[in-house]
Amino acid sequence: IATAALVFRTSKRWELKMSTFAHTRRLLEIRRIGKTFTFDAAHYLPNHDGKCKHLHGHTYHVEVVFEGELCETGPQEGMILDFGKVTDAWRRMEGHYDHKLLNDLFANPTAEVIAESIWLHFAADNLFPKEVKLWETPTSWASYQNPS
């Protein structure tokens, strides 16, 4: 009987410790998902003093990252966000950028300005990325994170 009581007490402490650990772990967990897209566009930087002041083009790579908690019920159970919703939002905005002269959209179309614009398009679709990263070349990127 004494052994059973000891096991019971130990078991309860273990359950409490595991419960506290799970709660603490959940508070510390950061879950993110990401999607990448591409588009082709031309631009020039009118105020630049280097070669980018001349008309040129890029195949831009967009990396969009979302952060959040897992949905606990419904069709998105176990997900932060359905990848399909991200893709649908991209398809609605892609024509705004793809095969365009970006100077027709922005006075000074730097990667930083374009990344923020893409973030704003997602936000207009009620999707709020943690970060939008825009790769202009394989080694050069700019990102935008909204502070809120």
Assign residue 99 a region (left: φ > 0; alpha: ψ between -120 and 50; beta: otherwise): left
Query: How many C-beta atoms surround the C-beta of residue 133 within 10 A?
Result: 20
For the chain, the farthest-separated pair of C-alpha atoms sits apart, in whole angstroms, at 87
Sheet holding 131-137, edge to edge: 100-101, 32-43, 56-67, 131-137, 140-144
Q: What angle do CA 120, 134, 91 make, to 5 degrees?
A: 55
Residue positions annotated with a catalytic role: 52, 96, 136
Phi, psi of 131 (to 5 degrees): -155, 145
